[in-house]
Chain A
Amino acid sequence: MKVHLKIKRFNPEKDKKPYWGEYDIEADEGDRVLDALQTVKWTIDGTLNFRRSCAHGICGSDAVRINGRNVLACKLLIRDAVKNGQITVEPILGLPLIKDLIVDMEPFFAHYRAVMPYLINDTDPGERERLQSPEERARYDDTTKCILCACCTTSCPSFWARGEYVGPAAIVQAHRFIFDSRDEGAAQRLQVLAEPDGVWRCRTIFNCTEVCPRDIQVTKAIGEVKRALITGKLD
């Protein structure tokens, strides 16, 4: 089928501000939008830039805004993206623009690092694995799925309003450890999240949950962290 792509373009070495590039391509309706971007790059204009790697929704490289909604370009098929023969692709919002669809991810990863995203447990585990029951394991399963694509954080109005807000992705990462029975760092992490730029900036708008390409219940996870802060209990 014929597809008209409108892609937000910006070259920091040439352009004062972003503009729309328009391209007509031939695509299969079962192709990914990422394939369409590749077609533009490989056959029409090699200067188009975007991040990509796995091409099947696993690596988190290609979070973009398609028709106004945050998605992974490799996880949305042309047939589901085309509106009146057209697809609009823009960079995600709230992070500094670098070039075309590429934004600076460093502020996002700085928030990630701030919640101490690693197991904290200094006791000697011994020769064999630490034990964890299937129920304890299930408690934090949902938040282990996060691929750090930033779809959630960059769809959040609270984050757009204030970049210092740690954002949903970092809270998801904190949740993954806070509710892991093997972890002993909950208190330290909760302290970070109790700060003014921690969980309380979340206004339960649910954008994050709606856009998560891994179907993580982001708002629920944030709610559980808020509850842990209020009650002082992890259940």
Chain B
Amino acid sequence: MAQYHQFDALVIGAGGSGLMSALYASKSVNTAVISKLYPTRSHTGAAQGGISAALGNMEPDKWEWHAYDTIKGGDFLCDQDAVDILCKEAIHAVIDLEHMGLPFDRTPDGKISQRRFGGHTNNETKKPVMRACHAADRTGHMILQTLYQQCIKNNVRFFDEFQMVDMITVDGACRGIVAVELNTGELHVFHAKAVMLATGGFGKVWKITSNAHSLTGDGPAIILRKSLPLEDMEFYQFHPTGIYKMGILLSEAARGEGAVFINDKGERFMERYAPTMKDLASRDVCSRSIYKEVRAGNGIGGKDYVYLDFRPDRINKYLEADGSSRRVDAEYIETRLPDIIEFVRVYMGIDPITEPVPIQPTAHYAMGGIPTDLDARVLADEKGTVVEGLYAAGEAACVSVHGANRLGTNSLVDLIVYGRRGGIHMAEYAKQVDFKLIGDDAHKAAEDTLNAIRNNAGSEHPGQIRKELQMHMDEHVGVFRTQEKLEEALEEIHRLKERYRHIHIDDKGRRWNTDLMEAWELGCLLDLAEVTAVSALAREESRGGHYREDFPNRDDQNFLKHTMVWSDNRITYKPVRIGRYQPTERKY
């Protein structure tokens, strides 16, 4: 038997997007948050660099410039109405966070301080603009803490360490979810009028990643299992600066403060690839440039990495070369980037103030995900049919504000802006409708799935399958793709899925059975890897984060459209909503 609960609004996930929507929904309806991690453990806490909004606190800025930069950064695949909302509401959203108590860094006159970030420009001068609002290099930590604090203040109900494993749908509408209480192993049925999926990303599909162990894409995978589509799954961002071999992120804020990429010959090679923006070109451009250097034999010691150089004397040298009068010293770097300096010291055992840091691109962010409309309502097809009672926001969702490549700092904006819109809409919707019936056996499918894993007596080991999946994805579905590589990846994924049917786990118990939950999560990773490769294979062009060596150019004629993919590998497309900006060639 399963325990039963009823709430008007139910939010799955306690990262920035989940907490923001819970906060707004809970203002008027009975709301609960379900999270497999304690809220403050969510990966939003790992976000470092900042959250952009055209506050204009440091220099002139306009939300329209922010919008254009976002659209250009997204290689014109963004839905421009969604971007306008994002950038316009960002201003209010950041101020809202400040009012909630977020400790932003301050300008001398007491306003929120802002810094430069990749791809954000003054549209008139084309120079980088200071738009990223920050709290040292732990902006995400402060957002997560602040929102959780506000939820406590507002008595939002939390079910911590409860993991959703199924969604309850009746006649195509969502009526709740089923979750495992990790501490007891018991199933709980949560009956709701409106459900928000805010489960975050799925970077664990790859080996070298900045993502947490918990980021296994549970929400999007459940969507696939309910015969609903995911959007733009081929667009996954590889961030250029992961710590070599570990993938731990070193924020773009480092380059915002002046750090540069250096190859084995000591060259600042981004000058060749992006003459204007240089090291602050968008992420896909930087990641490809790094691998081009590596292929040309310019990796450090001929290997597969380059340096990120934060040494103050080098930063000053390049600032001078760029005609900037700004200068930095060790103390400044330490106060602006304390956490990432510490990551390098702890995990690499080197001091970035005196030595350059080995970096390589790291799997970082899903531009694609669960398709939604402008109020975060989940869409069932390419025609825009709404799934009643179901919402999604944050990295799990795709409204599409990031298009083919997300600009730094825009995820946090997305969490806050669309988390809030979704929360408000859920509450309004919940007030208008009554609870609709669900069956007594709503938990049955989840119970069967988990028992099948628990009792399976196959010879395959989930840990081994996960390892092989991640290896293949790094190799074949990474920064550079070809038809051949993608087909090979797909075959491999199909083989792994077959092997997954014959796994066994060691832990047969109930309480805190992470062996069981990890095996279940592996099923999610396999499904997401598959639709990622399928979508990537079908898109025969290069755009933003999706680069096909066999189709190196963007092809607006045939591919200025969003991919919708289903679990049976079926693909359809829907048009991009263009607004003020017609696609042009992207140059940095």
Contact = CB atoms under 8 A, between A and B. Distances in A.
Contact of B141 (A46, A58, A130): A58
Interface stretch (A84-92, A139-147, A186-194): A139-147
Interface string A31-68: 01000000001110111011111111111110000000
A141 B335 CA distance: 11
A59 B212 contact: yes
Contacts of A199: none
Interface in B484-522: 505-507, 509-515
B40 A147 contact: yes
B153 A134 contact: no
B42 interface: yes
Nearest to A42: B463
A131 B111 contact: yes
A137 B110 CA distance: 9
A99 B41 contact: no
A60 B506 contact: no
A4 interface: no
A77 B345 CA distance: 12
Interface string B215-242: 0000000000000000000000000000
Contacts of B513: 49
Contact of A182 (B40, B101, B138, B510): B101
B506 A56 contact: no
Interface string B342-353: 010011010000
Contacts of B101: 118-119, 121, 177, 180, 182-183
Nearest to A61: B41
A56 B45 CA distance: 11
Contact of A59 (B43, B103, B110, B349): B43
Contact of A45 (B347, B349, B506): B506
B510 A13 contact: yes
Interface in B86-131: 95, 98-101, 103-112
Interface in B428-471: 461, 463, 466-467
Contacts of A42: 461, 463, 466-467
A113 B213 contact: no
A13 B511 CA distance: 8
Nearest to A104: B183
Contacts of A118: 101, 149-150, 152-153
B152 A131 contact: no
Contacts of B153: 116, 118
Interface residues on chain A, size class: 35 or more
Contacts of A61: 37-38, 41
B201 to A, nearest CB: 13
B106 A11 contact: no
B397 interface: no
Given A56-B343, A105-B38, A119-B149, A133 B212 contact: no
Contacts, number: 152
Contact of A46 (B145, B467, B510, B515): B515
A55 B110 CA distance: 35
Contacts of B505: 46
Nearest to B57: A129
B22 to A, nearest CB: 15
A12 interface: yes
Contact of A130 (B98, B347, B463, B510): B98
Interface string A164-199: 000000000000010010110000000000000000
A130 B99 contact: yes
A108 B586 CA distance: 51
A144 B108 contact: no
Majority secondary structure of chain B interface residues (helix, strand, loop or mixed): loop
A99 B512 contact: yes
A127 interface: yes
A79 to B, nearest CB: 9
Given A59-B40, A140-B103, A141-B103, A53 B149 contact: no
A16 interface: no
Contact of B213 (A55, A77, A98, A180): A55
A225 B579 CA distance: 55
A220 B126 CA distance: 47
B111 A129 contact: yes
Interface string B146-157: 000110110000
Interface string A107-136: 001000100111101000101111111101
A203 to B, nearest CB: 28
A27 to B, nearest CB: 14
A99 B511 contact: yes
Contacts of B466: 42
B142 interface: yes
A137 B134 CA distance: 13
Interface in B363-389: none
A47 B149 contact: no
B506 A46 contact: yes
B119 to A, nearest CB: 25
A119 B100 contact: yes
Residue in B40, B150, B349, B513 with the greatest tally of chain A CB atoms within 10 Å: B40
B149 A12 contact: no
B502 to A, nearest CB: 16
A59 B46 contact: yes
Contacts of A117: 149, 152
B212 A54 contact: yes
Contacts of B112: 129
A131 to B, nearest CB: 3
Contacts of A75: 346
B498 to A, nearest CB: 21
A180 B103 contact: yes
A32 B346 CA distance: 10
A11 B507 CA distance: 11
A60 B212 CA distance: 12
Contacts of A116: 153
Contacts of A57: 343, 346
A53 B343 contact: no
A47 B509 contact: yes
A54 B247 CA distance: 11
B248 interface: yes
Contacts of A41: 463, 514-515
Contacts of A77: 346-347, 349
Nearest to A14: B509
B152 A113 contact: yes
Contacts of B109: 131
B95 A128 contact: yes
B150 A98 contact: no
B138 A145 contact: yes
A218 interface: no
Contacts of B106: 131-134, 136-137
A53 B43 contact: yes
Given A129-B112, A134-B110, 8 more contacts: A46-B463, A54-B212, A58-B46, A105-B38, A109-B38, A117-B149, A118-B149, A131-B111
The 3 closest A-B pairs by CB, nearest first: A119-B101, A42-B463, A46-B506
25 contacts: A11-B511, A32-B347, A41-B463, A41-B514, A42-B463, A45-B506, A53-B43, A53-B214, A54-B46, A54-B212, A54-B213, A59-B43, A59-B45, A61-B38, A129-B95, A129-B98, A129-B112, A131-B109, A131-B111, A132-B110, A133-B108, A134-B110, A137-B103, A144-B142, A147-B40
